[in-house]
Chains A and B, each alone.
Chain A
Amino acid sequence: MFETIILMMDATIRVSTPLLLACLAGLYSERSGVVDIGLEGKMLGAAFGAGAVAYITANAWLGLLAGISVSVLLSLLHGFASISNRGNQIVSGVAINFLAAGLTALLGQTWFRQGGRTPSLPDGGRFTEIVWPFAEQVRNIPIIGPFYAEVLSGHKILVYVAFLAVPLTWWILFRTRFGLRLRAVGENPAAVDTAGISVVWMRYRAVIACGILCGVAGSYLSIAVGSGFGVNMTAGQGFMALAALIFAKWKPVSAMFTCLLFGFLDAAGTRLQGVEIWLIGEVPLQVFQALPYVLTVVLLAGFIGKAIPPKAAGIPYLKERS
């Protein structure tokens, strides 16, 4: 039983990581007033870029760099459409999702001829687990030992990046000039403009931050947990991250707990597959997959407090004409 709990916690952390990275990515974007429904597409594009480059160069770091670059490029595209040209942010985001879904499969097939997948990564093309000091030695200490060895130690570096990004994001948002302006531009861009700060440049910076984090999230899927890119391998995790962002009310620390909750539901679903539960019977996997969305809808309906988005989110900024 204890072993099961430890394994579940370990799985929860692994599954939560891409969600958390994408969720924080969305947080930067939406806090600046740019709604980003294209998290999914950016993750997918990054996963492909990372998978392809890591396969060719056999270097995980170059793969990560490629993944981030693809994602940032897609972010800039979103920015160009919705910030510079004041287009509809939802439409632009949806377009990026379609673009990424189609283009990754097409390029994958053209370059590698494996049905859109990238070939299995060579050694060095994948991130490996980082084993914390003394993990093996303490393993036999009851409770703390396995927790240290399994749950804390033994993850890919990107997992630690994701969880360190939480306090970092909080600190940036609430303790730096950049954060103050970022939050202001998402609430009342006119106030930022009249204070002599460029609204456009602020929002571009936010969107680039979003691209970097989404790039890490996508790369994690293809070159850290996975061993290569697979067609549509994000499987809706970008949307899940968006739901988590709403559930967390656009706050970094809440985002972490929400992603852990959603990750846990996913891990539990996998774990309980085919298991008969007393009195209930076998619970279909789909129930667990749907739960995060159900919870988010319940939240939006006002049962768990109120989720108030940044006031200017989704509205292109236009200087007023007299």
Chain B
Amino acid sequence: MSEIPAIELRKINKSFGPVHANKDIDLVVKKGSIHGIIGENGAGKSTLMSILYGFYHADDGDIIIKGKKVTIADSKAAIGMGIGMVHQHFMLVDNFSVLENVVLGAEDSALLAGGLSRARTELKRLEEEYELRVDPEALIQDLPVGLQQRVEILKALYRSAEVLILDEPTGVLTPAEADHLFKILDVLKNQGKTVLLITHKLREIMAVTDTVSVMRRGEMVATRETGNTSMEELAELMVGRSVLLRVDKEPAQPEAPVMEVENLTVTDSRGVQVVKDVSLSVRAGEIVGIAGVSGNGQSELLETLSGIRRATSGTLKIHGESIDLGTSTLDAADMRKKNMGHVPEDRHRMGLINSFTEYENSILGYHRDPAYSRGLLMDLAAIKKNAVAEIEKYDIRPPNPMLKTANFSGGNQQKIVLAREIERDPEVLLIGQPTRGVDIGAIEFIHRRIVELRDAGKGILLVSVELDEIRALSDRVLVMFDGKIVGERGSNADEGELGLLMAGVEDNRMTAEGGVQ
């Protein structure tokens, strides 16, 4: 350990009002290594990195870079010390070219021409050195997210960053893009750069890091060599107790079907069939999981059943009533009236209005319900009473119904949506991606609530791209591929077998036995 560390933090403290976001943080990052920092949402990882990048100022503590004690006044100072950051939400100007984004803030001189041509040659060099290919003249808005992220990395390298901080870099990436990113990180490491990887995903930590530090509630609780630790140990350190990676549940006691879908076909706006002749049923007291790689028709299936999207043809039987989906004009409100709850896949786009308060969001879609309205007016007293009750029951934090939902963490936002739908006591609940972007503690809680709902005799249709989640929760698993249901398995389904089905490898068992079950 004679080598001087790239970064050393000593006793860093930072408070936002009453919230102590970073408590006495110590951290040593070895030069030329990939150092992971893992922790739940709100553990203080991003705050710590923002201090390192000069976005916030530490209340006290020392920052030592390459053996020298420094103060980082602003981002400019951080850049000057060779620190580059790839933010979770990209800091790019959408209608600028790649080149313009790269030079922004590092233009060399008052006139652009010189800086741009230097950047063009420099980008070509970086492209070859780090295998980061991207067209310098392309507009950011035309690039897929994976490439946009590459531009962010190039931006940092262009400013000759020695240390690269990546904040939740895979949140927006497809698995293939994430794999590619990890390869890039390896190249960076081999070229002598130091990488700080901030994430809450255990698998990424295990896959790429050399060292991992765990944060919990503002404190640095442990640092391990990645080779000498396990996912279980890290999960336990993150949450502060051992986590049930499996959900505890009794076998299902399914009764009569509560929802039956027959021969559903959906065509999207481009005229492409996205759901092809799908039939399925959900019985009272069971969780039916739909597994599949994202983009194989699951989203459209869920949207059609919840009344957001029109079907081309198909029948829906609910409450013994038969609805022709090809001709029906039922919308989301009508479906809710038929006792069908819906937790949409994307809470930001469809589940919540983030500039509204928690109590307003807690009745969204049910605002016409006589329980919460009096004629044209809202019954604010009843709405708030209900909101307070839901906050209590679902342990939503902070417990303040007057707060805008934008100020809640992902897990708490998801609980707000879940509480709203479950507490209306639906017969059938459609759930999409219940734990996307949610921390481990909340995942556990949400899974338990879903199982409780099942045990109360409700039918649940669960769509998730997380295979672990599908396997942990479902009593029956249907696999969707290319708009069709290509296989069905029981609750004890084998992971590898499901994976093959999701990849579109034909299901021999189904064809051999000539049917389902």
Contact = CB atoms under 8 A, between A and B. Distances in A.
Interface of A: 174-181, 183-184, 187-188, 190-197, 311, 319, 321-322
A113 B74 CA distance: 54
Interface string B49-80: 01001011000000000000000001111110
Given A177-B107, A197-B105, 19 more contacts: A176-B110, A176-B112, A177-B111, A178-B110, A179-B112, A180-B100, A180-B112, A183-B96, A190-B89, A191-B91, A192-B104, A193-B75, A195-B105, A195-B155, A196-B77, A196-B79, A197-B104, A319-B55, A322-B47
B107 A188 contact: no
Q: Most chain-A CB neighbours within 10 Å: which of B21, B94, B95, B105?
A: B105
What are the 4 A-B residue pairs with the smallest beta carbon separation, nearest first? Answer: A195-B105, A196-B76, A191-B91, A177-B107
A222 B104 CA distance: 41
Contacts of B486: none
Contacts of B92: 188, 191
A175 B111 CA distance: 6
Interface of B: 16, 21, 44, 46-47, 50, 53, 55-56, 74-79, 85, 87, 89, 91-96, 100-101, 103-107, 109-113, 115, 155
Contacts of A196: 74-79, 105
B300 to A, nearest CB: 28
Nearest to B54: A196
Nearest to A319: B55
Given A193-B75, A321-B16, A184 B104 contact: yes
A184 B21 contact: no
Contacts of A321: 16
A268 B308 CA distance: 52
A180 B107 contact: yes
B104 A180 contact: yes
B71 to A, nearest CB: 15
A177 B109 contact: yes
Contacts of A177: 107, 109-112, 115
A81 B87 CA distance: 30
B93 A191 contact: yes
A208 to B, nearest CB: 17
Contacts of A180: 100, 103-104, 107, 112
Contacts of B93: 183-184, 187-188, 191
Contacts of B21: 322
Contacts of A176: 110-112
Contacts of A184: 93, 96, 104
B95 A191 contact: no
Q: Most chain-B CB neighbours within 10 Å: which of A179, A187, A188, A197?
A: A188
Contacts of A197: 76, 104-105
Given A188-B91, A322-B47, A195 B112 contact: no
Given A177-B109, A181-B104, A192-B104, A311 B94 contact: yes
A187 B94 contact: yes
Nearest to A179: B112
A319 B75 CA distance: 12
Contacts of B76: 196-197
A191 B74 contact: no
Contacts of B155: 195
B94 to A, nearest CB: 7
A191 B110 contact: no
Given A177-B110, A322-B46, A322-B47, A188 B105 contact: no
A98 B100 CA distance: 40
B76 to A, nearest CB: 3
B139 to A, nearest CB: 12
Contacts of A178: 110
Contacts of A322: 16, 21, 44, 46-47, 50, 56
A195 B16 contact: no
15 contacts: A175-B113, A176-B111, A177-B110, A178-B110, A179-B112, A181-B104, A181-B105, A184-B104, A187-B94, A194-B91, A195-B75, A195-B104, A196-B105, A319-B55, A322-B46
Nearest to A190: B91
Contacts of A193: 75, 91
Contacts of B74: 196
A188 B87 CA distance: 14
Contacts of A194: 53, 55, 75, 85, 87, 91
Contacts of B94: 187-188, 311
Nearest to A175: B112
Q: Most chain-A CB neighbours within 10 Å: which of B78, B85, B112, B113?
A: B112
B19 to A, nearest CB: 10
Contacts of B110: 176-178
Contacts of A190: 89, 91
Contacts of A195: 75, 79, 91, 104-106, 155
A192 B95 CA distance: 14
A176 B89 CA distance: 27
Contacts of A181: 104-105
Contacts of B107: 177, 180
A296 B299 CA distance: 40
A193 B177 CA distance: 27
Q: Most chain-A CB neighbours within 10 Å: which of B78, B95, B113?
A: B95
A322 B45 CA distance: 9
Nearest to B14: A322
A321 B17 CA distance: 12
Nearest to A188: B93
Contacts of B89: 190
Contact of B105 (A175, A179, A183, A192): A192
A305 to B, nearest CB: 15
Contacts of B105: 181, 192, 195-197
Contacts of B112: 174-177, 179-180
A322 B48 CA distance: 10
Q: Most chain-B CB neighbours within 10 Å: which of A188, A194, A311, A319?
A: A194
Q: Most chain-A CB neighbours within 10 Å: which of B47, B77, B93, B113?
A: B93
Given A178-B110, A180-B112, A196-B79, A191 B16 contact: no
Contacts of A311: 94-95
A179 B103 CA distance: 13
A187 B87 contact: no
Nearest to B42: A322
Nearest to A198: B74
A184 B76 CA distance: 17
A191 B90 CA distance: 8
B81 to A, nearest CB: 11
A109 to B, nearest CB: 45
Contacts of B91: 188, 190-191, 193-195
A194 B161 CA distance: 14
Nearest to B74: A196
Contacts of B78: 196
A177 B47 CA distance: 31
